[in-house]
Structure 1
Amino acid sequence: MTFPQIDPVAVSIGPLQIHWYGLMYLVGFVGGWWLLKRRTERAGSGWTREQLSDMLFYIAMGVILGGRLGYVLFYNFGKFLDNPLWLFEVWTGGMSFHGGAIGVLTAFALLARKFGKRYFSIADFVVPVVPMGLGVGRLGNFINGELWGRPSEMPWAMIFPSDRMGVPRHPSQLYECLLEGVLLFAVLWLYSAKPRPAGAVTGLFGVGYGLSRICVEFFREPDAQLGYLAGGWLTMGMLLSIPMVVIGAAMIAWAYRHDTRRVSA
């Protein structure tokens, strides 16, 4: 298939350029805010609009700061050692989901202290909308023609303009959009629509994202500076996602085991 030639710059106003990738982040945050706002407005939700606004700010900072730090530490630490100031060159690109996840989990702890709420009351409330941001973010990667997949002979394989080898590849960004975005969102949104034990929704997110990412990593080209970590198949994305599956499954088991009320099936 021919890669759709989409200009990465969505809008140009003089020297100001607004990129599709940045707009995808905005769509993710606004869409997540709108969905959480709907749940906030339900009777007895326990949340206010002011709390939701604070929540959005803390989470945005967690995503940006954690995502950048995670990319530097997990994927390009050598470059950071050579040039520590590169950490702040965010305009050159480089964000890590796993680093962003750590940043958001930290933001949940700060919000729990600020609001006087339990940690998982915040985490379980927010994580169902996270896949929306992941999905549109992967669309941004696809538009940029980056983070493409391994060589493929499938009929939907594409030749990406930035690929010097010029071979057809899996559009792995779209695979991630469907698995980590559309499918995971549907599962979490429906599951969280009924009362669940504290921590169960967050645990399900860990399992769902981890499994989705591990599956896609078999089709995604590993980062050039890292390559395969072991056995010609293990990637950094897999290595960071495996603990998410294990911890997430343990959280779900713990949540249901320590839940003293009748839980909706």
Structure 2
Amino acid sequence: MIPYPDIDPVAIQLGPLAIRWYGLMYILAFGVAWWLARRRAAQQGSGWTAEQVDDLIFYGALGVIIGGRLGSILFYNFDAWLRDPVMLLRVWEGGMSFHGGLLGVMVAMWIYGRKLGRGFFTMTDFVAPIVPLGLAFGRLGNFINGELWGKPTDVPWAFVVDGVARHPSQLYQAALEGVALFLVLWFYSATRPPRMAVSGAFALGYGFFRFVVEFVRLPDAHIGYLAFGWLTMGQLLTIPLIGLGIVLLWLAYRPAQRGL
């Protein structure tokens, strides 16, 4: 078993200015997303210019930050926010919801798609493969912050936290929702699947990986287990995502719908 290194969440201290690892992970996430989007745009017949990609990342970043923070408050910390409304602005302390960020990005893509005169799924199919590596950086930020640990375990790769060996659920999510999902979507999108298919694969893939990891991840202490005494909030929010992914893939490959 591995002792948790108890990493200082502050990467660089410049007088009163503290640059945190969590914030740096987001910068890396947006940087990698921009680089991958530029690569996709450079492919023959992509229909995207470099300038459009730059704006796309800007819109997407706003959606992630605003939606992720609002989702964290509404889904997981609403009572705490009522007691301390300013916590909404303290993004550097952690507390970002994937499901809120996803909704934020969807709204951002709809807005930017209208500006470009492109359909919603044209936008999301282009964006979906560049998202997972950003999720991986976010989970690494959770690991550095020492948050979102898994259940006690005796597996040899467990991390000992406060004397208890636990599943590194943040690293599981980084590997599955991040690296594995990225590889699947990147190569799948290269096959030029029908519209909605890449978006559906993202929803289904993320939903499946998140649902599985939640079995070894501790639920938020102030929420605990919900439905049936074993489902977590993350799983309840993810079930509709899995259903959406299945529906989108079915629609994408149904011959009568390919012209939509």
Deviation sequence 1:34-70 (CA, Å, 0-9, x none): 1110121223221111111111111000000000110
Q: Where does 1:35-50 land on structure 2 (aligned, <5 Å)?
A: 35-50=36-51
Secondary structure in structure 1 of the residue aligned to 2:226: coil
Secondary structure in structure 2 of the residue aligned to 1:203: helix
CA contact (8 A) 2:149 2:170 kept: yes
**2:189 — aligned with what?**
192
Distance 1:77 1:20 in 2: 25
**1:15 — aligned with what?**
16
Distance 1:91 1:31 in 2: 20
Q: Which amino acid aligns with 1:249?
A: I
Cα distance change on mapping 1:9 and 1:114 into 2, 3 Å: same
Distance 1:52 1:101 in 2: 19
Q: Where does 1:233-252 land on structure 2 (aligned, <5 Å)?
A: 233-252=230-249
**1:204 — aligned with what?**
201
Percentage of pairs with the same residue: 57
Deviation sequence 1:212-246 (CA, Å, 0-9, x none): 00010001010011010133311000000011001
Number of aligned residue pairs: give it: 257
Give 1:91 shift.
Answer: 4.3
Q: Which amino acid aligns with 2:147?
A: E
Q: Where does 1:115-194 land on structure 2 (aligned, <5 Å)?
A: 115-160=116-161, 163=162, 166-194=163-191
Secondary structure in structure 2 of the residue aligned to 1:146: coil
Distance 2:124 2:39 in 1: 17
Secondary structure in structure 2 of the residue aligned to 1:168: strand
Question: Structure 2-normalised TM-score?
Answer: 0.94
Q: Where does 1:83-94 land on structure 2 (aligned, <5 Å)?
A: 83-94=84-95
Q: Which amino acid aligns with 2:258?
A: D
1:255 aligns with 2:255: no
CA contact (8 A) 2:94 2:142 kept: no
Q: Which amino acid aligns with 2:245?
A: G
Give 1:159 shift.
Answer: 2.0
Deviation sequence 1:181-207 (CA, Å, 0-9, x none): 110000000000121111110010000
Secondary structure in structure 1 of the residue aligned to 2:131: helix
Contiguous gaps of at least 5 residues in structure 1: none
Secondary structure in structure 2 of the residue aligned to 1:231: helix
CA contact (8 A) 2:9 2:20 kept: yes
Deviation sequence 1:142-174 (CA, Å, 0-9, x none): 1111111111111221122xx5xx311111111
**1:75 — aligned with what?**
76
Query: Structure 1 segments of 4 or more deviating over 6 A?
Result: none
Distance 1:7 1:177 in 2: 20
Distance 1:232 1:60 in 2: 36
Distance 1:92 1:19 in 2: 8
Distance 1:89 1:14 in 2: 19
**1:216 — aligned with what?**
213
1:24 aligns with 2:21: no
Distance 2:236 2:93 in 1: 25
Q: Which amino acid aligns with 2:109?
A: F
Distance 2:57 2:95 in 1: 22
